[in-house]
Structure 1
Amino acid sequence: MSTKYRIVSSIIFLLLLLSIGLSVLNYYIILQSTKKQLEYSDIPLSTTNIYNEIQKNLIEPNLVSSVMAQDTFLKEWLIHEEHDVESITEYLKSIRKKYGLLTVFLASDKTNKYYTSKGLVEEMSRKRERNLWYYKFKDNNLENEINIDYNKYADNNLIMFINHKIFNANQKMIGAVGVGIKVFYINEMLKQARKTYKLNVYFINEKGRVVLKEEAFNSFHSTRHNSELNDALINPTGGTLKHKYNSQEYITHSKYIPELDLYLIVEAKVSDFTSDVISTFYINLIISLLITTLILLVVLRMVSRNNEKLEHLAQHDTLTSLMNRRSFNDALEQLILRNQRKEQKNSIIFLDIDDFKRVNDTKGHQIGDKVLVRVSKILKETLRQTDLVARWGGEEFIVLCIDSEISDAELIAENIRVKIQNDKELQELLTHELTASFGVTKIAKGESSLELIKRVDKALYKAKEEGKNRIVLSV
């Protein structure tokens, strides 16, 4: 592999390595930053926001139910005035209207009667399945509970009931009061949390059982019971746990809600939050590769142009832009090799500017250089495109006349000699005519380049001896 291609390959490799390396490093840094922000900032903040929404939608009804259970009016009514159905109906109706609740109820333990904002609804019985909730609630040790059930007195909708026991002064249960909220609204709230925050939200009790979740959502916790989750999340101060399920990474955060005696669980699938990072990585990588490609094209162009310049400098004379001695010799050697296989009609013209040293001495090297440039231009204008011309050295020039007999070369040399002597531009530079001496010879079969140059050089030397400004043939 040439030096040029080694350099280009190295540049390509380094640029690609730099481009891809920086993109991967940037992706890794952003990914880790996103995960940390998700764990320590986004999820806790979102949990607080969701808690505030829950407080608005769930905690307020729970507080209403709790306050009703402590209301002295209700206690007095249950103990002494249960016959006054109208007053309790108005009371329940006002509570329902004030807080925009689906239903408000009161159950009397003494009479087993069930009241709503519509008045006396029924007399409850342990034998009636729809009334069993009350007796189960009465028999347990809890002062309040949340349960979800269908209610025939609320259009048979699935309702979440928040129930509180009512106690007299002796802490004996005298009834139960509660409010009902449509599960539809709760489901919408949880769905909105998922859509807005990309978070799955559900509620678990102290035993780790999911008691409330979005209808269409199967939580990790509910689909696969995990004691590690329970230990980390069921904590009054809340907790955070990173875990995997089905090859997906999750971050789960919990917050205890004492008003409901439930744990709010906020579950984030990490890929939902890093998908943009991955997309950004690929976009950045593509942009980076495009920029790298553009840079490579520019570098390749520069290397190619510089290489062309170097090759030109290596093969051409810097002053006249003609071939230099080395490149001419290479071309001559190739021609001689071909001539050995099959003799061809090729000739050499060797010329030297007469008295050029005097030009430099009297006019200066700057004028001397201009003379050389002008002579080289005359040579290029006079010669055929197939001919080769080079600056041999100093004020010497050599011409390879392709497919030319020595007589043809002599005519070419004479044409050059006349043009140099009569050139107006040279005369203006020097204020006198410039002349040149020529040696001309034919390339003989089996002759080396050294022998050829030696013969034509002798012919040139003879032209100088005979008075200059003339052509001498070496046959």
Structure 2
Amino acid sequence: MIPFSTQYRWAWLVSLLLLVGFLTNSISSYFVSKRNVRQTIVETSLPLTSDNVYSEIQRDLLRPVFISSLMANDTFLKDWTLKGEADQGEITKYLHELKIQYNTVSSFFVSEKTRTYYHPQGILKRIDENDPRDEWYFRVRDMPEDYEINVDPDLANQDEMTIFINYRVKDYQGNFIGATGVGLTVNRVNHLISRYEAKYDRQIYFVDTQGKIVLRPSNSPLLNEPKLQGIQGLETKADALLAGETANLSYKRDGRTRLLNCRFVPELSWFLIVEQTEDAQLQPFRKELFINILIALVTTAVVAWIFIVSIKRHHDRLERRNQELCKTNQEIERQKTRIEQSAASLEKANNELSKLNKEKDEFIGIVAHDLRNPLNGIMGLCEVIDFDEDDPVEFINDISDSSKRMLSLVETLLDVSRIEGHDVKICSQTVSPSSLVEDSCSLFKEHAERKNIQLSIKGESAEDLSFRTDPEWFSICLNNLISNAIKYTPEYGKIQVSTQSETDYVRISISDTGPGISEEDQRKLFGKFARLSAKPTGGESSTGLGLYLVKSMCERLGVEIIVRSQLGKGTTFTLKIPKVA
């Protein structure tokens, strides 16, 4: 039986104060978290979602605006109109090809002279000032801007709601001669809304300036609500939203508090509304509150029991307990030290993993970019050959060039992989540098001639220049350096490959008259996937692996590589190879 005599009143008083403190802290923490969650949703989450949806809409509208601009400035369209619109088949074919090429829902041209509405299937109708559906044309004719974005039902597409880009067409003297443009279905925006609703657990919909809900997902719980003013909880707040007096508010619907963000989309003259409940975000805090209350009750009971037992124990018992607590504290400190050491090791390992992951991402980006372009070139040229079988030689040459570029990239990546995996076996033999230099220069002679670059060889007597190395891998190093020199040397430049004998070494130097390498670029010159500020002068591709491969292989071969460069005065790479003993 727990005693309730006056000698234990301090124990019960302390326990009561502890319980009150626990409850006060837990409840206050919950309300602070609730306020922070609501503030985060209103100030960050909802506006961010609204910005993302708005950005997607703007991105989808930039391309059709560009297409409409091209149509409005197309000399064919202007000349065909100014010549009297004689052949209707020409404009129909023109609009049909644009629609297919740019994958639009509709393309059109309305002539100011004849008031004829042309579309990919022929003549749709005659524009009439008394027809309400033709008001858009006369608005475009009189507006000062070059184009507008308008949402209307598409007569040629069963009145499906379509986003039209209406662009004014002018003759060569600047006179208005018609309107042209393309149309995009709003289904893409609808899919975007559905995706964001599913991803962020929010409700997203569009309303016009009168409050009518014009766009929402097919599974929206607001399908039965035609207007914003009819939504429960928004009856008195909708007008303030539509007037732009407020952008954020909270209201209750179906017994749940909902937070709402509203922004105006000027391109569509609609309001974008994003709303969500705070229940999902508060659920972890509610659970934490209940756990804290339970912990408070259990802790208070344990503390009360400890107080009572402690008072009943002798002083020696308290001293022994104190010693045990000291030992426990020491063990905790030791554990803390071990945990800190483990944390430091984990942080170091994490930094290494981050570095490796970054290299992996760069590798994937290079492969995706540089391998895709040659493949696309091969595929495209193969398609062209099907339509031009009389003279396929030029295209076959282009296919061969693209294949060689892709093969060179793959071979470079494989060489790097073999070097880093220590799969390279060095097969040394006595070689003469003159033959290696001549072979390498002959490989790139045609490339140099295409850029009108003078590629020359300068060397000493062969008997003083022999050394031992692996000829295959040494040639790869030499080929990469000569290829780089041609790649970054402008037309009519000069490249000289020279050999020089010293007492214990043979020097092979590759000098060019290119733009040179800055000091900053020289510090990262031999890094993997290094991208320098200088660009190839002939549009050649670069993986950022060539010099890394050269540096790694030179280290394996025992060859020292030296770089001397000055901006505007060219670059010299020198290979310093030990002679035969």
**Higher mean displacement: 50-59 or 166-175:** 166-175
Which of 177, 183, 187 is 1:180 aligned to?
Answer: 183
Q: CA deviation at 1:245?
A: 5.7
Structure 2 residue aligned with 1:230:
242
Q: CA–CA distance in 2 between the matches of 1:250 and 1:160?
A: 30
SS in 1 for 2:95: helix
**Cα distance, 1:292–1:113 mapped onto 2, change above 3 Å:** same
Change (3 A) 1:292 1:164: same
- Aligned residue for 2:300? 296
1:77 partnered with 2:80? yes
Structure 1 contact 23–281 (Cα < 8 Å) conserved:
no
Query: Counterparts in 2 of 1:132-281, with a 5 A limit?
Result: 132-135=132-135, 137-138=137-138, 144-149=148-153, 151=155, 153-154=156-157, 156=158, 158-169=160-171, 174-203=177-206, 207=209, 209-210=211-212, 212-215=214-217, 216=220, 217=222, 221=228, 223=230, 224=235, 226-232=238-244, 240-244=247-251, 246=253, 248-257=257-266, 260=267, 262=269, 264-269=271-276, 272=277, 274-281=278-285
**Letter in structure 2 aligned against 1:268:** E
Tell me which stretches of 4 or more aligned residues in structure 1 moved more than 6 Å: none
Asked if structure 1 preserves the Cα contact closer than 8 Å seen for 2:30 and 2:289, the reply is no
CA shift at 1:160, angstroms?
Answer: 0.8
Q: Give the aligned partner of residue 287 of structure 1.
A: 291
Question: Quick one: structure 1 residues 297 and 280, their matched pair in 2 at CA, closer, same or farther if it must change by over 3 Å?
Answer: same
3-state SS, counterpart of residue 85 of structure 2:
coil
Q: Compared with structure 1, are the counterparts of its residues 59 and 299 closer, same or farther at alpha carbon in structure 2 (3 Å cutoff)?
A: same
> How far 1:211 sits from its partner (Å)?
7.1
| Preserved CA contact (<8 Å) 2:41 2:259 | no
2:95 to 86, 92, 97: 92
Q: In the superposition, relative to structure 1, how do residues 16 and 173 fare at CA in structure 2: closer, same or farther (>3 Å)?
A: farther
* Contact in 2 for aligned 1:250/1:268 (Cα 8 Å): yes
SS of the counterpart of 1:73?
A: helix
Contact 1:112 1:124 survives alignment (8 Å): yes
TM-fit CA distance, 1:54: 0.9
Q: Choose from 28, 32, 37 the match for 1:34.
A: 37
Deviations 1:110-169 (CA, angstroms, capped at 9, x unpaired): 334333233x143336599xx752255426755635233254x43x36231414153435
Report 1:325-344 matches (<5 A): none
Aligned equivalent of 1:360: none
Gaps of 5+ in 1: 234-238, 314-475
Q: Which amino acid in the other structure matches residue 178 of structure 1?
A: G
Q: TM-score, normalised by structure 2?
A: 0.43
CA contact (8 A) 2:110 2:117 kept: yes
Match of 2:111 among 83, 108, 126: 108
Residue by residue over 1:33-85, the C-alpha shift from the partner in whole angstroms, topping out at 9 and shown as x without a partner, is 23333333333333332222112334433443355345443233223252233
What is the TM-score normalised by the length of structure 1? 0.52
- Structure 2, unmatched stretches of 5+, are 318-581
Contact 1:220 1:245 in 2 (8 A): no
The number of residues matched between the two structures is: 295
- Pairs within 5 Å for 1:324-473: none
Contact preservation (8 Å) 1:105, 1:179: yes
SS at match of 1:232: coil
Identity of aligned residues (%): 20
The one-letter amino acid of 2:248's match is L
Report the counterpart of residue 418 of structure 1 in structure 2: none
Letter in 1 for 2:47: P
Q: Cα 1:100–1:13, aligned 2, differ >3 Å: closer, same or farther?
A: farther
Q: Distance in 1 between matches of 2:250 and 2:188?
A: 30
Separation in 1, partners of 2:211, 2:81:
35
Matches of 1:109 and 1:10 in 2, distance apart?
93
CA contact (8 A) 2:50 2:274 kept: no
- The verdict on how the C-alpha distance between 1:201 and 1:172 changes in structure 2, with shifts beyond 3 A counting, is farther
Instruction: State the alpha-carbon separation in 2 of the partners of residues 211 and 194 from structure 1.
Output: 16
1:230 CA displacement: 3.3
* One-letter amino acid of the structure 1 residue matched with residue 29 of structure 2: N
CA displacement, residues 307-353 of structure 1 (integer Å, 9 cap, x when unaligned): 6558xx9xxxxxxxxxxxxxxxxxxxxxxxxxxxxxxxxxxxxxxxx
Assess if the C-alpha contact under 8 Å between 1:30 and 1:277 holds in 2: no
Distance 2:25 2:281 in 1: 15
Task: Deviation per CA, 1:226-281: give whole Å up to 9, x if none.
Answer: 44223436xxxxx7333546584534242554xx2535524333xx2x32442122
Q: Distance in 2 between matches of 1:211 and 1:180?
A: 21
What letter matches 1:117 in structure 2?
Answer: P
Secondary structure, in 3 states, of the residue corresponding to 1:191?
helix
Question: How far apart in 2 are the matches of 1:276 and 1:17?
Answer: 29
Task: Return the letter of the residue paired with 2:275.
Answer: A
**CA, structure 1 residues 59+35, in 2 after alignment: closer, same or farther (shift >3 Å)?**
farther
Q: 1:264 to 1:231 in 2, by over 3 A?
A: closer
Structure having greater relative contact order (Cα 8 Å, sep ≥ 6): 1
> Matched residue of 2:114: which SS?
coil
Residue in 2 aligned with 1:444?
Answer: none
Preserved CA contact (<8 Å) 1:96 1:104: yes
CA–CA distance in structure 2, aligned partners of residues 245 and 180 of structure 1: 39
Deviations 1:151-188 (Å, cap 9, x if unpaired)?
Answer: 4x43x362314141534357765433232323332211
Q: Does the Cα contact within 8 Å between 1:157 and 1:182 map onto a contact in 2? A: no
8 A Cα contact 1:254 1:266, kept in partner: yes
Query: 2:302 is aligned with what amino acid?
Result: V
Aligned partner (choices 13, 16, 22) of residue 13 of structure 1:
16
Which of 40, 44, 47 aligns to 2:47? It is: 44
Q: Is the 8 A contact 2:129 2:138 kept in 1?
A: no
Segment of structure 1 superposing worse, 140-149 or 279-288: 140-149
Q: What is the alpha-carbon distance in structure 1 between the residues aligned to residue 52 and residue 91 of structure 2?
A: 37
| Structure with max Cα Rg | 1
